[in-house]
């Protein structure tokens, strides 16, 4: 005979098994997307070259410091995440080769492919329970195979263009955040979103809209606003009944009736509920 402890133990095993399967699926989708992005533009790995601003910002980081470069690399907007990923590529190159430069282009390509593969995987994970599984697969394929012009040599395998994809990534992160997450998961997503916000200002607008809707939903203010809107519409309809016909409704809790008798005693006046009077 199974006890409550047996049922709880069985449920925990099922939950762990389901979590393990989900992790394996996510890793598989990430690996497939990584390979597809490599196939779309294999030049950064087959012919490793530090391209455009990737080289400029890396040089600035090594000469002036990475934090200063993150804030001052461009005068018009910040490229904090870009510089952070370049720093990560330089440090990884140093760990494996003892030089920040020797394998810099190789690791820039690796982290770039990983970034775009993560966005595609997030799209698949974030829409779980929202759309059907076939549509999630279609969304995943659309992200991986999204057209970017004649070639993707300036995008895939490079870091300089990742800021333009942050709004899409932030939408998926916000969708995941809205699901049941622990404290650590929520804090991690919030930290990533802060990094996105200081890299692309468009993300700040998306986060603000999400925060506003979250605030309203969790305080039942949306239902209150709907009720107030309905009440205002009903009140307006009472004032305008038909074309050109105007009616006025006196609103009060009660009023004193003039020269009315209260319970047969005409020396007193009773408080009578007010009624609607059309004028």
Render pLDDT for 145-200 as a digit per residue (tens, 0 to 9): 998 877 778 899 999 999 999 999 999 999 998 886 788 888 999 999 999 999 99
Q: What is the pLDDT of residue 263?
A: 54
Average pLDDT of the segment spanning 67-87: 90
Chain centroid, CA 116 distance in Å: 16
Residue 220 has pLDDT above 80, yes or no: no
Statement: residue 28 has pLDDT above 80:
yes
Confidence tier at 241 by pLDDT (50, 70, 90): low
**Window from 101-110, 160-169, 249-258 with minimum mean pLDDT:** 249-258
CA distance 108 to 85: 8
Average pLDDT over every residue of 219-231? 61
Where are the alpha helices (H) located in the chain, listed in sequence order? 4-40, 43-46, 53-64, 66-72, 80-97, 104-126, 133-144, 166-177, 183-197, 201-218, 221-239
CA distances from 14 to 26, 28, 176 (A): 18, 21, 22
Give me the residue label for tokens 């007193």: 268
pLDDT band at residue 217, thresholds of 50, 70 and 90? Answer: confident
Average pLDDT of the chain?
80
The SS3 assignment for 103 reads coil
Q: What is the pLDDT of residue 74?
A: 84
Position 273 scores a pLDDT of 45
Which residues are within 8 A (CB) of 205 and not within 5 positions of it... i.e. 6 or more apart? none
* SS3 call for 255: strand
76: DSSP letter:
S
Length of the chain, in residues: 279
Q: Using only C-alpha atoms, what is the Rg of the chain?
A: 31
Per mean pLDDT, which of 13-22, 161-170, 236-245 is the most reliable? Answer: 161-170
- Per-residue model confidence (pLDDT) at position 193: 94
pLDDT for res 8: 47
Tokens encoding 278: 């059309």
Q: Is the pLDDT confidence value at 66 over 90? A: yes
How many CB atoms neighbour CB 246 within 10 A?
10
pLDDT of 198 reads 92
| Buried b / exposed e along 108-131 (16+ C-beta atoms within 10 A) | bbbbbbebbbbbbbbbbbbbeeee
Task: Name the residue with tokens 């393990």.
Answer: 20
The phi and psi torsions of 256 (rounded to 5 degrees) equal -90, 125
pLDDT of residue 276: 41
Q: What is the pLDDT of residue 265?
A: 56
Determine the Cα angle at 210 with ends 130 and 161, to 5°: 85
107 vs 268, residue with greater confidence: 107
Which of 127-136, 202-211, 237-246 has the lowest average pLDDT? 237-246
């Amino acid at each position: 005979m199974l006890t409550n402890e047996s049922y709880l133990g069985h449920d925990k095993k099922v939950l762990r098994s389901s979590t393990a399967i989900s992790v394996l699926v996510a890793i598989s989708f990430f690996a497939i997307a990584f390979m597809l992005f490599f196939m779309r533009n294999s030049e950064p790995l087959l012919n490793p070259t530090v391209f455009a601003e990737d080289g400029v910002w890396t040089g600035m980081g090594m000469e002036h410091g990475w934090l200063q470069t993150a804030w001052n690399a461009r005068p018009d907007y910040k490229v904090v995440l870009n510089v952070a990923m370049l720093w990560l590529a330089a440090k990884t190159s140093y760990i494996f080769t003892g030089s920040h430069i020797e394998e810099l282009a190789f690791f820039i390509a690796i982290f770039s492919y990983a970034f775009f593969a993560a966005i595609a995987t997030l799209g698949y994970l974030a829409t779980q329970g929202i759309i059907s599984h076939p549509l999630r697969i279609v969304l995943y394929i659309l992200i991986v195979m999204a057209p970017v012009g004649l070639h993707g040599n300036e995008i895939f395998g490079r870091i300089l263009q990742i800021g333009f994809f942050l709004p899409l990534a932030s939408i998926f992160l916000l969708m995941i955040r809205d699901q049941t997450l622990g404290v650590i998961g929520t804090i991690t997503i919030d930290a990533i979103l802060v990094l996105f916000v200081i890299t692309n200002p468009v993300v700040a607008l998306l986060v603000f809209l999400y925060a506003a809707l979250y605030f309203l939903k969790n305080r039942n203010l949306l239902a209150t606003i709907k009720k107030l809107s309905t009440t205002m519409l009903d009140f307006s309809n009472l004032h305008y009944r038909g074309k050109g016909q105007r009616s006025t409704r006196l609103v009060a809790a009660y009023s004193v009736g003039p020269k009315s008798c209260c319970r047969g005693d005409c020396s007193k006046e009773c408080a009578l509920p007010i009624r609607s009077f059309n004028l």
